[in-house]
Structure 1
Amino acid sequence: FDNAKIDEMLDVFGIERSLSRKGCPYDNAVDESTNKILKAELVYREMFGTTRELQVKLADYVHWYNNFRMHSTLGYMTPIEFRKAGLVLPKSSKKM
């Protein structure tokens, strides 16, 4: 979704946006994969009585995911370890 206001906000935080061409699903695949993991590891295993409880459990999960959960894509490092090591994933060779 290309939007000037979203672009401005991302620029403030130094985030590079990835937009593929119309009909190209590659960017969506990362989002779908993340949602699948979140659902399997948190949503389907928990009950949330209030919005606040959901917020707390989600924050705890994100902290665990970034600091303790090893990722095969990152060479079995956590995202925090990977970033602290100054490593980056190679750009995909697929043309979009």
Structure 2
Amino acid sequence: MSKTNVYQKIVLKRVAIPNFTSLIQLKLELFDYINWYNNIRIHSTLNYLTPVNYQKQMSTKK
């Protein structure tokens, strides 16, 4: 299974498929997803770092 397929499945399971019972529940899921995307998921285009770690690394090089 490719990385893209894994990513798509996570998005579908977390955001697209569930029936949210409230706006708060939807907001919490989106916040959790964005946190995962920026702080946990590594990106090949960022030298296999998370966006947050990449940004920190780039800011120290200046």
Question: Is TM-score (shorter-chain normalized) higher than 0.5?
Answer: yes
Secondary structure in 2 aligned to 1:86?
A: helix
- Spell out the pairing of 1:10-21 with structure 2 (5 A cutoff): none
- Superposed CA deviations along residues 58-96 of structure 1, whole A, max 9, x for unmatched, are 011111111100011111110001000016xxxxxxxxx
Alpha-carbon contact 2:15-2:29 (below 8 Å) kept:
no
Give unmatched runs, 5+ long, in structure 1: 1-36, 88-96
Which structure has more helix as a fraction of its residues? 2
Return the TM-score normalized by structure 1. 0.45
Percent identity of paired positions between Structure 1 and Structure 2? 39
Secondary structure in 1 aligned to 2:42?
A: coil
Residues 46, 73 of structure 1: alpha-carbon distance in 2 compared, 3 angstrom cutoff:
farther
Task: Work out which of the two has the higher radius of gyration on C-alpha atoms and give 1 or 2.
Answer: 1
Which amino acid is 2:50 matched to? T
After TM superposition, what 4+ stretches of structure 1 lie above 6 angstroms from structure 2? Answer: none
Structure 2 counterpart of 1:85: 57
Determine which of 18, 22, 31 is the counterpart of 1:50: 22
Structure 1 counterpart of 2:42: 70
Return the TM-score normalized by structure 2. 0.65
May I ask how many residue pairs the two structures share in their alignment? 51
